[in-house]
Each structure stands twice: as structure tokens, then as C-alpha cells.
Amino acid sequence: MVYYIRFLKTPKYHPTKVKGELNVKAYITITTDLGDDFYPGQLGLTTSFYNGSLGDEISPVRIPDHKSTWKQGMRGLPVNVLLKTKELKHPLKLRMVCKASTAKEPQPLECTSILDVLTVWSDIIESATQEAVSKRVERRFSLSGNSPLSIWEETGESIARHLWDAGLGLVAHLQDNLGDSTCTLHRILSKESHPLSVLELGSGCGIVGIALAQLVSGCNVILTDLPEAMEILDHNISTARVAQQSKLAKLSLDWNHELPSAVKRSVLDLIVISDCTYNSDSQSALIGTLSALVALSPDAHVVVSMKVRHSSEAVFFGLMAEAGFEIVEHVSIPKLDDCRTAVGFGLAVIDVHVFNHKTASPLS
């Protein structure tokens, strides 16, 4: 299981009575992707500050790291750091970084070491008197070859447009198996016909599709979700470092509506879905969309990454079979939760299923 450090209150400057000093105050939690559980043990935390723009040109500032401790039973933790502003470059362009004290930065995404606690980077800190406060935060990862992957998400208690475990697991699985010729996804992604055409449904922040466009050359990826996700997708597309001859685009796509004309014109090789099956009420609409897509692209494979949360999700597989989809590969990625294992809980598992339609041609 992955735990996410989140800002319930994003960092802001607060004046003090002493000239040349400012307090930076924030309020964090450490919770699961769904927000239904909190980090259950004790954890040392480090808060640091970086100076610079929102791009890569950032550098640490001469502010001592702030140490704090998350304790068992906590649901939130205040972070309060005193700054000596006369020692800092003005105007202030600071960002706050909260991480587990033992965490690497950027954090690697690999099946053998899927993260325990995810570091969070704030947007540029604003004054407490400013009305408009950024609700975006950044997560930084490293892909194979130390390629950086930057994904922005919304912060706070809402679970919309957040990163989810199954997306992280699928990215780790994809990059770990790009060189494995026995893996179905490797054979799809290494097809000689280029450009490769990929559509992601329910993209959210777009981590899976963006990672694919960074890992695979000659890969055209369309990220799709509801209209309210377009702003965060735009931002993440703008910061992506796509591979040679790869492209990223976004489209609004509602599973209850007809396919957009741009999608109808596409011949797809791969359809990607991660953490979209937990809501059984939307499964029929999702499978209806998949059926419409493979009617236009009968040889397209569908990869579904999921972390099963309740037994009702099993209905998805029955509906897929009724619609003519067959499982051609299934991989389980165990995620050892060191803290929970110590108190008697088992593994959290991310399942990756690859489907094709019964009308598809054999994959060579």
C-alpha cells in the first residue's frame, strides 16, 4: 500500500512581530489514495525549501531542514517553520517539500520497490493575505535511465484528480517489462508499425499515459477524462519530456456519451485504464465505451490496472466476458506494507490484466 503526504492546508507565509522573519505554516496528512485510512505507525518527516521557478531550475535554500514526527493514531500534523528572510533571495519564490526522512528524491517507480510514502512538493508559496491559493502539488519520480517524471495533482481531501496506487503500479510494470519479449505489453509496445496509438480512459492526472509517452519512442497518446480534469492534464502535458517522435494530447470523453470524432478517426493499438473499476455503477458505461472503441479498432488490446477494494468489482470481469473480451495476460504486483505487516496485515496487491476482443487478430 502506498501512503501519500498531502497538504490539507497548503503552505502560506504568516508575518511575525520581528522584522525580517516569517512563519511558513501548513497542515499535512498521510493517507491512502482513497483517503480512507491514515499512516498507522510512527514516521520521521523532513521539510525542506527550494528556491526558483516551477521548472527544473530550482535549488535548495539556506534554511535548516525542519524535522517532525508522524505518530500512530494521527490524522493530521501542523508544520510551522520560522524563516529568516534577510538571508533569502527576494522576491521570495519558495516551495515546500515534505517527505519521509529516509525517502529518495526523485522517487523511483519500480515493481521491486514501489513507494511506501510519497513526497509532496508545494506550488510557489503565497502570502496568507492572498485570496487565490494554489491547490496543486507536484510528485517527482524517476523512470528507467533516471528520466524524470513530474506529475501535478490537486491537493486536499477530495480524491478527484489525485494519483492512485494502480496507476503507479502500472507505470512500474510497464517500464520493468519493456525489455521482456515474453510480456504481452512489450510485444504491443515494440510493434514495428509506428506511430503506436494509445488511448487512456479516466486519465485523472495522466500519469500512465504521460509515462508511456516518455518511455516509448514513436508513441502517440491521447489522455481522456471528464471536462473538470482537463486543466490538470494540460499542466502535466506541458511539463512532460516525451520520447523521440512521441506525442501527447487530451480530450474530454464521457463514457455515457458518444465517442469524440477525433477518437473515432484513430486506429488504436492499446487502451489503458487504471483504478477505474472500483465504482460498480460506472462499469457498464465503461465497458460500453470499450466495446465502441474495439468496434473501430478490433485489434486493440486493453490493459486494466486495479487494486481490488471490495468484492463488487468482480462484476467487471463478467461484464467484460459478456462483451466479448478475453484475458490474455494477468500479473499481480505485491506491495509489501512494512508498517501494516508488522501488525498482522497482509499484502496489498495491484492486478494488471491485458484483454483483447475475441474478434482480434493474433498478436505476433
Q: What is the pLDDT of residues 209-250, one digit of tens each?
A: 999 999 999 999 999 999 999 999 999 999 999 999 999 999
> In angstroms, rounded to a whole number, what is the distance separating the alpha carbons of residues 95 and 86?
17
pLDDT score at 113: 67
306 contacts 34 by C-beta, under 8 angstroms: no
> Where are the alpha helices (H) located in 182-322, listed in sequence order?
184-189, 207-215, 230-239, 261-264, 283-296, 315-322
Q: Which of 230, 223, 206 is nearest to 262 (CA)?
A: 223
Task: Dump pLDDT digits (tens) for 126-174.
Answer: 776 665 567 899 999 999 877 899 999 998 666 778 999 999 999 999 9
> In angstroms, rounded to a whole number, what is the distance separating the alpha carbons of residues 57 and 53?
6
Please state, in angstroms and as integers, the Cα–Cα distance from residue 133 to each residue in 10, 12, 122, 127, 140, following that order: 8, 9, 11, 9, 21
User: What is the rounded (10 degree) CA torsion for 281, 283, 285, 286?
Assistant: 140
Sole residue written with cell 469524440: 260
Which one has a higher pLDDT value, 194 or 34?
A: 34
> In angstroms, rounded to a whole number, what is the distance separating the alpha carbons of residues 53 and 92?
10
End-to-end CA distance of the chain: 35
Q: What is the pTM of this model?
A: 0.92
* Helix pair 207-215, 165-176: axis angle to 10 deg: 10
> In angstroms, rounded to a whole number, what is the distance separating the alpha carbons of residues 74 and 79?
14
The answer on pLDDT for 1 being more than 90 is: no
